[in-house]
Structure 1
Amino acid sequence: MTNSTTFHVHALPAAALDTVRRTGRDAADQPVEARLAGGGEPLRCCLRDAEEGEVLLLFGYPPPGAAGPYREIGPVFAHATACPGPDSAGSHPPAWRGRPQVLRAYDRQGRIHGGRLHDGTDPEAVIAELFADPAVHQLHSRNVVYGCFMFAVERTAG
């Protein structure tokens, strides 16, 4: 499927990560939890799975979006110290290609405006399909089993 939809994938913002690492507090003002990775934890700082033994933080994070009833705070993992970030900034995370995900669509008011479960083999096609609706402003990729926020996807001008 060829399409002209261009998009940008966003990991957790560096400023938000710096604040959590510096203060040891999350978005709900709760203490972050430091832990050693068992392996496989989805890291929102670099958009890959953790390797066993890496030092991680588990904390509450509010995905990007407008304030309102759909705004939430959910658990995320990140490296305890700064890392280089995603391997392929701006595109679907290569390490998560093939991973089933839910893409939840939001409008400009931060309200859910549809979504799709996909098997991960062609996430760009599902992203393009959801962005074909002009009311869709942003997508959130979500873990299928736990529902946790993985990353945000925004349309780019072009």
Structure 2
Amino acid sequence: MTRIRFLPLPTDKVDALRRGGTDAHGLPPERTLSDGSDNPCRHCLDFIPEGAGMLVLAWRPFTRIHPYAETGPIFLCAQDCPAWHGAGRPPILSSPDYLLKGYTADERIRYGSGKIVANAGIEAYAAELLADDEIAFVDVRSARNNCFQLRIARAD
């Protein structure tokens, strides 16, 4: 079975956003406080505690703009947090199900790969997709709001 790893947003990009850099729409992130209810940070891949500073911004997890480069809202801890390096499943994957989609190296959706997957099946379906050499990575999105959660790649 193909081994997988969960990827956080790159620390250099997160640091730039925290310093007032602009998001996918060219705007600075909104700064607010977490209400403690499902505010997942895409860097530490954990939930932002109630009352903690939080950034809300538009994120496009692709290297360039093209028809498949979806953009949507995400949250980040406003203060420094460690990038996810954990073994196993990140805490933010707590919903009952997610939309998983495989992408080729040129960031195009591999048609037929998109599927709503029960939470318990995330690792197995991602490994199945990544067993196909034409699929370079798998994006995990909310099954309800389509928000980007994280990316899954082959483990080294």
Query: Secondary structure of the equivalent of 1:47?
Result: coil
Identity %: 32
Tell me: CA distance 1:66–1:106, structure 2 relative to 1, closer, same or farther (3 Å): farther
Paired residue for 1:50? 48
The residue identity in structure 1 corresponding to 2:129 is L
Is the contact made by 2:7 and 2:84 (CA closer than 8 Å) also made in structure 1?
no
Counterpart mapping for 1:28-47 below 5 A? 28-39=25-36, 40-47=38-45
Contact 2:40 2:75 in 1 (8 A): yes
Match of 1:64 among 62, 65, 68: 62
The code of the aligned residue for 1:142 comes to R
Report if the CA contact (8 A) 2:20-2:29 is conserved.
no
Deviation at 1:9, TM superposition (A): 1.4
Change beyond 3 A, Cα 1:37–1:100: same
Q: 1:118: which partner in 2? A: 117
CA-CA distance at 1:98 after TM superposition:
5.9
**What does residue 14 of structure 1 align with?**
11
Q: Alpha-carbon deviations, 1:105-149, whole Å to 9, x = none?
A: 101121111222111113211111212322111100101111011
- 3-state SS, counterpart of residue 126 of structure 1: helix
* TM-score where L is the length of structure 2: 0.87
The equivalent residue for 2:84 is: 86
- TM-score with structure 1 length normalisation? 0.86
Cα distance in 1 between the residues matched to 2:24 and 2:90: 25
Q: How well do the aligned residues superpose, as a CA RMSD in angstroms? A: 2.0
CA shift for structure 1 position 10: 0.8
Residue 147 of structure 1 is matched in structure 2 by: 146
Structure 1 residue runs without a partner (length 5+): none
| CA drift at 1:28 | 2.0
Q: Could you tell me how far apart the structure 1 residues matched to 2:58 and 2:22 are?
A: 9
- Which of 86, 102, 106 matches 2:103? 106
Contact kept? 2:47, 2:91, Cα under 8 Å: no
Q: Which runs of 5+ in 2 are unaligned?
A: none
